């Protein structure tokens, strides 16, 4: 079977599985966030944290809950790493340095999971499970909570109340993420993924000699890192490691986990606003971009340009033979169009244009379907922009879901859009002129000088500010400069957008709905979905094209 045909068959099977899960999962999540009842275990958690889960919150209070909880997470995870040398099950690993501990704490709390270390050579079992895995759950649940708050802003009227952050956080964790993660971990263990607390031991090699390796609670962390669109990995090879991703089936299953909640949340959105067709329009927008990017990636990685690619039949350098070009392309697009830092192939070894597709996917804002929660609220902000542009073209006050998009709303949406480009381009530019940062790039193992080296740096900050976490992996980012600045990019890129999203939600919730008329833009129609796709691509292209021209485009055309 040709690599192209194998990729098409896997993409078809994946699409069918997502379609089957879309309606039941989307309806279930809508019921979870709309239910007035609390489970017994949830009541215990509320008592432990001292939260009144029935109290409604306006957007400033909701935001304070998000920021306070996340700040506590950063502090606790930082301390766990700094104290690792004295913890049980540390496997003899030393405590993490201050700058790297800050970077890692910021990374996992922001749902980024950028790693400037090799997991199996740095983190013990307690830090991996009690620290990193826990943040995989709660950071994903935080993103879902903010998305639901914005949906309530569209659904409610003449009130500033957006629900209760603590209730949304706990429900997303207990009722959605944990049950799916338990089932998913069993599937991965059945596929051959590792799940234990073994120490370091030596294993023989095929060519003689031995090497040291260790086990861990790998399957349970692998499933939530994909399900929560977190990324990262127990091992340095990430999802290319056979302990994390043993087979072609487990690889396809992990891609399914990455995409299933972000896509299904569009159904949740439609149910909560009382019009499932609105959810279908957002789903169609996400689906068109995702399928288009996947097709482009499979084509560019299968094109036989150059003697090495012709000899291999495709761009197989840096890819696992048990997955092949098709599955690696699907995985790569799924992770870079969501906020998932997992990789099953070496991104720096993709073709120049393939690397450009990965970069562009993150630069879109990771909207198609985006991260758990963050993809939905990012797409709704883009929909607000698209409605505003349509209103300008016809000379009518723009409206979306019965809410007027006025000066306040469009300013909040514009601020949301400007944050990540400012962080990405600002930090990348600084790294090109500061001697220490530039020297790290030039000394990298993978073609440090020139356009590829610039792409390495651009990718690092794009990944950090968009809370993706994957890397080209040729850049030595474990330096005080990169650890600190990428950590800041992750924190600012995660929480500043949430400020504007929640402020927008509060502004919308206070409005009185506007009745639909013959002149109202029908936002559930294919025309609007097409307008939304065009808006996303044009805004992203105008923002990032000069930087892409200096990096992957220059390399690909050279």
- Cα–chain center distance at 222: 15
Q: Which domain holds residue 443?
A: 381-557
| Residue listed under structure tokens 């998305």 | 147
Burial profile 323-337: b = 16 or more Cβ within 10 angstroms, e = fewer: bbbbbbbbbbbbbbb
- Say how far apart CA 329 and CA 3 lie, in whole Å: 11
pLDDT band at 447 (very low <50, low <70, confident <90, very high): very low
**Does residue 401 sit within a domain?**
yes
pLDDT band at 85 (very low <50, low <70, confident <90, very high): confident
Global confidence as pTM: 0.92
The helix (run of H) or strand (run of E) holding residue 19 is: helix 3-34
- Say how far apart CA 503 and CA 58 lie, in whole Å: 9
Assess whether pLDDT exceeds 60 at residue 134: yes
Assess whether pLDDT exceeds 60 at residue 440: no
Burial profile 196-212: b = 16 or more Cβ within 10 angstroms, e = fewer: eeeeeeeeeeeeeeeee
- Is 50 buried (19+), middle (13-18) or exposed (0-12) by CB count in 10 A? exposed
> For residue 399, what are the CA distances in angstroms to 7, 459, 524?
41, 36, 13
pLDDT at 513 (0 to 100): 87
pLDDT at 228 (0 to 100): 93
The helix (run of H) or strand (run of E) holding residue 480 is: helix 480-509
Q: Is the pLDDT higher at 122 or at 58?
A: 58
Q: Is the pLDDT higher at 235 or at 348?
A: 235
Q: Which of these, 450, 426, 383, 466, lies nearest to 114 by C-alpha position? A: 466
**Does residue 399 sit within a domain?**
yes
- Say how far apart CA 421 and CA 487 lie, in whole Å: 16
482: phi then psi, degrees, rounded to nearest 5: -70, -40
C-beta atoms surrounding 173 within 10 Å: 22
Q: Per the structure block, which two tokens stand in for 398?
A: 């723009």
pLDDT band at 457 (very low <50, low <70, confident <90, very high): confident
The number of residues making up the chain comes to 558
**Does residue 519 sit within a domain?**
yes
**Does residue 454 sit within a domain?**
yes
pLDDT at 212 (0 to 100): 67
pLDDT band at 470 (very low <50, low <70, confident <90, very high): confident
Mean of pLDDT values over 131-140? 92
> For residue 219, what are the CA distances in angstroms to 141, 215, 252, 342, 494?
20, 10, 15, 14, 27
**Does residue 488 sit within a domain?**
yes
Least confident residue range of 54-63, 285-294, 441-450, 492-501: 441-450
Per residue in 305-361, pLDDT (tens digit) is 555 555 555 566 677 778 888 889 999 999 999 989 888 888 777 888 888 899 899
- Is 126 buried (19+), middle (13-18) or exposed (0-12) by CB count in 10 A? middle
- Say how far apart CA 99 and CA 76 lie, in whole Å: 15
Q: Which of these, 159, 173, 146, 142, lies nearest to 45 by C-alpha position? A: 173
pLDDT at 376 (0 to 100): 95
**Does residue 468 sit within a domain?**
yes
DSSP states along 318-358: TB-TTTHHHHHHHHHHHHHTTT----SB-GGGS-HHHHHHH
Q: Which of these, 338, 339, 342, 374, lies nearest to 112 by C-alpha position? A: 339
537: phi then psi, degrees, rounded to nearest 5: -70, -40
Q: Which of these, 255, 504, 467, lies nearest to 377 by C-alpha position? A: 504
Q: Which of these, 41, 19, 211, 222, lies nearest to 136 by C-alpha position? A: 222
- Three-state DSSP class for 191? helix
Q: Per the structure block, which two tokens stand in for 551?
A: 């990096």
pLDDT at 446 (0 to 100): 43
**Does residue 516 sit within a domain?**
yes
Assess whether pLDDT exceeds 90 at residue 93: no
**Does residue 385 sit within a domain?**
yes
Per residue in 362-418, pLDDT (tens digit) is 999 888 999 999 999 999 999 999 999 988 887 777 889 989 999 999 999 999 999
535: Cβ–Cβ under 8 A, 6 or more apart, which residues? 382, 385, 386, 389
- Say how far apart CA 448 and CA 446 lie, in whole Å: 6
- Beta carbons of 22 and 284 less than 8 angstroms apart: no
Q: Which of these, 257, 281, 259, 258, lies nearest to 269 by C-alpha position? A: 281
Identify whether 369 is preceded by a cis peptide bond (ω within 30 of 0).
yes
The tally of domains found in the chain comes to 1
């Amino acid at each position: 079977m040709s690599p192209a045909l194998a990729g098409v068959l896997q993409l078809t099977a994946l699409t069918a599985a997502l379609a089957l899960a879309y309606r039941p999962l989307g309806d279930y999540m809508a019921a979870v966030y709309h239910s007035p009842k609390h489970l017994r275990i949830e009541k215990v958690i509320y008592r432990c944290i001292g939260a009144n889960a029935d109290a409604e919150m306006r957007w400033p209070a909701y935001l304070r809950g998000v920021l306070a909880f996340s700040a506590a997470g950063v502090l606790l995870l930082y301390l766990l790493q700094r104290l690792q040398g004295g913890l049980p099950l540390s496997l003899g690993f030393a405590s993490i340095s201050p700058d790297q501990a800050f970077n890692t704490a910021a990374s996992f709390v922001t749902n980024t999971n950028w790693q400037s270390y090799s997991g199996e050579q740095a983190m013990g079992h307690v830090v991996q499970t009690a620290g990193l895995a826990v943040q995989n759950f709660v950071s994903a649940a935080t993103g879902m909570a903010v998305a639901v708050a914005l949906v309530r802003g569209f659904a409610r009227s003449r009130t500033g109340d957006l629900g209760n952050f603590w209730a949304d956080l706990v429900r997303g964790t207990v009722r959605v993420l944990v049950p799916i993660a338990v089932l998913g971990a069993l599937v991965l263990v059945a596929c051959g993924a590792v799940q234990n607390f073994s120490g370091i031991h030596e294993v023989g090699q095929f060519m003689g000699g031995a090497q040291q390796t260790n086990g861990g609670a790998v399957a349970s962390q692998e499933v939530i890192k994909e399900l929560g669109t977190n990324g990262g990995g127990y091992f340095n090879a990430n999802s290319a490691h056979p302990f994390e991703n043993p087979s072609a089936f487990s690889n396809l299953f992990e891609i399914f986990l990455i995409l299933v909640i972000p896509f299904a949340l569009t159904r949740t959105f439609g149910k909560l606003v009382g019009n499932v067709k609105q959810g279908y329009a957002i789903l169609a927008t996400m689906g068109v971009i995702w399928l288009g990017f996947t097709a482009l990636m499979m084509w560019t990685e299968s094109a036989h340009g150059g003697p090495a690619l012709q000899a291999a039949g495709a761009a197989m350098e840096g890819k696992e033979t048990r997955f092949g070009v098709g599955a690696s392309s699907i995985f790569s697009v799924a992770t870079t169009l969501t906020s998932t830092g997992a990789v099953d192939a070496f991104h720096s070894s993709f073709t120049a244009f393939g690397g450009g597709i990965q970069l562009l996917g993150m630069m879109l804002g990771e909207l198609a379907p985006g991260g758990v929660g963050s993809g939905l609220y990012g797409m709704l902000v883009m929909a607000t922009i698209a409605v505003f542009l349509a209103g300008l073209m016809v000379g009518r006050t723009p409206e979306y879901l019965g809410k007027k998009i006025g000066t306040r709303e469009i300013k909040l949406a514009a601020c949301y859009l400007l944050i990540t480009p400012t962080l990405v381009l600002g930090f990348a530019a600084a790294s090109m002129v500061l001697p220490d940062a530039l020297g790290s790039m030039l000394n990298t193992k993978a073609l440090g000088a020139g356009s590829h080296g610039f792409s390495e740096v651009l990718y690092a900050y794009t990944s950090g500010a968009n809370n993706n976490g994957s890397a080209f992996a040729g850049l030595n980012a474990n330096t005080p400069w990169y650890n600190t600045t990428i950590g800041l990019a992750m924190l600012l890129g995660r929480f500043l957008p949430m400020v504007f999203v929640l402020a927008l939600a509060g502004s919308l919730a206070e409005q009185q709905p506007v009745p639909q008329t013959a002149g109202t833009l029908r936002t559930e129609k294919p025309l609007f979905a097409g307008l939304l796709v065009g808006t996303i691509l044009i805004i992203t292209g105008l923002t990032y094209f000069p930087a892409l021209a200096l990096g992957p485009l220059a390399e690909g055309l050279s």
